[in-house]
């Protein structure tokens, strides 16, 4: 969460707010007693004795309750913040505002204190007021208001602020603002508006690399997988992809029917993390890309680490089958059957390959088991009869 900050200013002279509708307390309205108390407190602050300064102003309030002044309340509030007396500080900031509604530093500090006290709605309103009073120039204040609205579970209000901040009307946005805007847009199902904002930012000269990552995420939630892959690919050219991002890009290419590119990215994932499912997807992608040698290499490498991967044994089996290496294919299909006894297809293929390899006894046993499955009953029994007829002739 982005940090908020305080204007802990212990001065008598008003600071410029830079906006016509903002105002500072009138120093001329300070009573003699209030001025004496503030000067004494300022001296104690300069002497690094804030505790005495705090007591000086508290004593003044007790002795002269009718002579309170915005500067007294504001300075006391800041001293209470330093002591971590946040609730008391909040009361003093409120008094400051009650006496001088246009004093922006008091509003901003009140916003920070409210946030720390988990009074998020009040914090958001205070930050919005500060933003207005300071001429809508410090856009970070509006972002802080958005953060407070999010904490108050009012994402719609936060999104309105973030859409403005990222629209370009407030100048070049911070990367964090765009990311948060996109995240909320997905939650609020406003991805069309969000992607329009992001695409507009991408059209600018030298766009931030993170915008491509944000765009990819938005396209993904809009089911625009090709655009998501394109955006993530560009992001990968500009920044190193994390394992999850590299995997996502590979999966996107796989689902788009571009297995060659998918395989290249799965290989990069395996360099960092050799998970079973990644080897399975890699081998499958190479096979789909008509690269059986690379598919076999991936399957064999994967089986060294994950010998119980049924998917890898099946890929290996099919490559052997296509190469007419029926004995090897039969053995690989057998391993697939052992790992998943309900896999009737691998069981049938084990028998078929054993038959083609001339291992009729093994084939017969496998095919008899396969014939118990309705899907392969007819084919399995036909092969058994064929082998029996062949044996009778010989």
Each residue's pLDDT tens digit, 360-389 = 999 999 999 999 999 999 999 999 998 888
Q: What is the pLDDT of residue 197?
A: 97
**Which residues fall within 8 angstroms of residue 386, CB to CB, at 6 or more apart?**
none
Q: What is the pLDDT of residue 11?
A: 37
Average pLDDT, the chain: 92
Say whether 112 sits in a helix, a strand or coil. helix
DSSP 274-315: --HHHHHHHHHHHHHTT-HHHHHHHHHHHHHH-TT-HHHHHH
Q: What is the pLDDT of residue 23?
A: 79
Q: What is the pLDDT of residue 10?
A: 41
Q: What is the pLDDT of residue 394?
A: 54
Q: What is the pLDDT of residue 392?
A: 58
Can you tell me the mean pLDDT for 32-50? 95
Can you tell me the mean pLDDT for 113-134? 97
Q: DSSP assignment, residue 8? A: -
Main-chain phi, psi angles of 171, to 5 degrees = 85, 180
Can you tell me the mean pLDDT for 14-24? 50
User: With a threshold of 0.85, does the pTM exceed it?
Assistant: no
Q: DSSP assignment, residue 5? A: -
Structure tokens at 161: 């602020």
Each residue's pLDDT tens digit, 136-161 = 999 999 999 999 999 999 999 999 99
Say whether 377 sits in a helix, a strand or coil. helix
d(CA 362, CA 366): 6
Can you tell me the mean pLDDT for 51-69? 95
Residue whose C-alpha is closest to residue 111's, from 92, 132, 90, 95: 90
Whether the pLDDT of residue 55 is over 70: the answer is yes
Percent of the chain with pLDDT over 90: 90
Can you tell me the mean pLDDT for 77-102? 96
Can you tell me the mean pLDDT for 247-276? 97
């Amino acid at each position: 969460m982005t940090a908020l900050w305080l204007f802990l200013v212990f001065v008598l002279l008003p600071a410029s707010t830079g906006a016509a509708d903002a105002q500072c307390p009138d120093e001329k309205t300070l009573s003699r007693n209030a001025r004496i108390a503030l000067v004494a407190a300022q001296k104690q602050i300069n002497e690094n004795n804030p505790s005495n300064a705090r007591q000086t102003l508290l004593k003044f309030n007790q002795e002269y309750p009718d002579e309170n002044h915005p500067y007294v309340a504001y300075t006391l509030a800041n001293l209470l913040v330093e002591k971590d007396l946040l609730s008391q500080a909040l009361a003093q900031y409120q008094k400051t505002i009650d006496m001088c509604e246009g004093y922006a530093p008091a509003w901003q500090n009140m916003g920070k204190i409210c946030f720390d006290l988990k009074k998020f709605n009040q914090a958001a309103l205070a930050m919005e007021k500060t933003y207005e009073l300071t001429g809508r120039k410090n856009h970070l204040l509006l972002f802080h208001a958005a953060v407070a609205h999010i904490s108050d579970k009012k994402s719609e209000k936060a999104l309105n602020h973030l859409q403005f901040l990222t629209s370009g009307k407030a100048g070049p946005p911070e990367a964090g603002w765009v990311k948060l805007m996109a995240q909320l847009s997905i939650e609020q199902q406003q991805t069309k508006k969000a992607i329009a904002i992001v695409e507009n930012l991408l059209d600018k000269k030298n766009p931030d690399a993170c915008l491509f990552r944000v765009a990819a995420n938005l396209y993904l939630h809009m089911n625009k997988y090709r655009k998501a892959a394109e955006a993530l690919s560009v992001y990968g050219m500009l920044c190193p992809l994390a394992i999850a991002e590299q995997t996502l890009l590979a999966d996107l290419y796989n689902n788009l029917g571009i297995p060659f590119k998918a395989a290249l990215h799965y290989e990069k994932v395996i360099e960092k993390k050799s998970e079973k499912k990644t080897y399975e997807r890699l081998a499958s992608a190479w096979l789909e890309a008509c690269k059986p040698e690379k598919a076999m290499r991936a399957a064999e490498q994967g089986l060294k680490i994950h010998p119980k991967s049924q998917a890898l044994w099946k890929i290996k089996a099919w490559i052997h089958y296509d190469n007419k290496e029926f004995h090897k294919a039969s053995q690989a299909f057998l391993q697939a059957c052992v790992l998943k006894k309900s896999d009737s297809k691998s069981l049938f293929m084990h028998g078929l390959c054993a038959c083609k390899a001339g291992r009729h006894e093994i084939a017969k046993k496998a095919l008899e088991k396969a014939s118990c499955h309705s899907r392969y009953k007819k084919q399995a029994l036909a092969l058994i009869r064929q082998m029996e007829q062949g044996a009778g002739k010989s």
